[in-house]
Amino acid sequence: MSMKSSEKTLVILHYMGSHMPYAYHHPKSYEKIHSDDPYRDQYDDTILFHDYVMEKLYETLSARPDFQTLLYFSDHGEAIDLHLDHNPTIYVPEMTYIPLYMAFSDTYLSSHPKLIGNLAARQKSRWTNDLVFDTQLALMGIRLPDLYEPENDITSDHYDDTPDRFKTLFGTRAITAK
């Protein structure tokens, strides 16, 4: 990844790491897990490869002098133990459990203590990827009063973690806590 460090840069990466068919989403050299469940093994191999890719991405971006934040989230979960992938016609709550992680430069950490404190306090809060807009605006310091909804921003003092508001499948199914 080559970027001039004097330019303002926003990197958005869509990474199809752990989607069916799993064997197509990692090189053969990452076929490392072997158990009595080949389906699960293939999925776990995608996770190993995904972790490698994310590590390299973080190393590349955080080495830039202008690095500020890295935000990662999945588009959906998988019902791996049930061998259901993310089939919406056979819904189970595990399909909504997604990772969310963020990394920050030391400069960002020291200049945004309230935001970082809010995140630390909400490590176990519910969050869905349809809330990324408001969270990303806050992370980038973009002020759009007519569009920004603080109740949807996990970094905000006003974030709403009320369980009943979290739904999936176009608002037809409640997301239950893990």
Backbone conformation region of residue 19, classed left if phi is above 0, alpha if psi is from -120 to 50, else beta: beta
| Cα–Cα distance for residue pair 144/2, rounded to 1 Å | 31
Supply the pTM of this predicted model.
0.85
Q: Where are the domains of the chain?
A: 22-174
Q: What is the pLDDT of residues 102-161, one digit of tens each?
A: 999 999 999 999 999 999 999 999 998 889 999 999 999 999 999 999 999 999 999 999
